[in-house]
A = this chain, B = another copy of it.
Amino acid sequence: MASEESAKRRRAGRPKQNVLSPRLIHETALRLIDRHGVEGAGMRAIAAELGVRPSSLYNHVAGQAELIAGVRDLVSERIPTAPFAELPWDAALEQWALGYRLAFASHPPTIALLAVQPLDPDSSTSFMYDAVAAGLVRAGWPQERALSVIVAFECFILGAALDLAADPAMLDPGRRGDVPAFSAVYRARSEALEASGTSPADDAFGIGLRAMLAGLRAEYAALAAQKNDDRRRS
């Protein structure tokens, strides 16, 4: 009675049916991150959630760094890139930004992980870049410009995702009187947003996204005009 059914402690030795797999470990890690934050998703916690000893994880995952990379891929796989096949470049870029941000908005604590760690080249993230790059070039963006446009755009999205994960009251100046202009705009924003029902992060993201797209459209138009000019001149 002390060995089998209630405590379900597994004895040493390979089990008849495999208990773990890389995929299962990654998904469990993501679930724990969502539930308890990053610090609640250590090796020991993941093992406990799976009813397993920590050392067993190392039969399927090289270490924590690789595990985090796996979780990141799990999240970024859900960023849709389909828009680039059917929409004009600017509308596609907009949809991409929305999907990108949404994917990480569902798992706020992972954003800091993605932002810092480098992505391994074999991961599926490269396919995302491929789809975006193809869309931009097909629309007429110069080859040597396309990647920097993508990176610049991604900078904004990533920053917005971080902002999304931050504490909403992070900026609150409170009752201090030594920053009057800051306090005034903070209060004005709070009231305006409460009336319209949108969150601070969404509002800033919307403004930035519109600005970025408008600016890129202007640059695109200028490039097209210059190209026309060159052709006429020759």
Contact = CB atoms under 8 A, between A and B. Distances in A.
Contacts of A191: 144
Contacts of A167: 118
A205 interface: yes
Nearest to A219: B211
B218 A214 contact: yes
A130 B200 contact: no
A160 interface: yes
**Interface size for chain A: under 10, 10 to 19, 20 to 34, or 35 or more residues?**
35 or more
Given A115-B112, A179-B130, A188 B143 contact: yes
Interface string A141-174: 0111111111111111111101101110011111
B121 A174 contact: yes
Interface of A: 112, 115-116, 118-119, 121-122, 126-127, 129-131, 133-134, 136-137, 142-160, 162-163, 165-167, 170-174, 176, 178-182, 184-186, 188-189, 191-193, 200-201, 203-205, 207-208, 210-216, 218-219
6 contacts: A121-B172, A126-B179, A136-B185, A137-B185, A144-B193, A214-B215
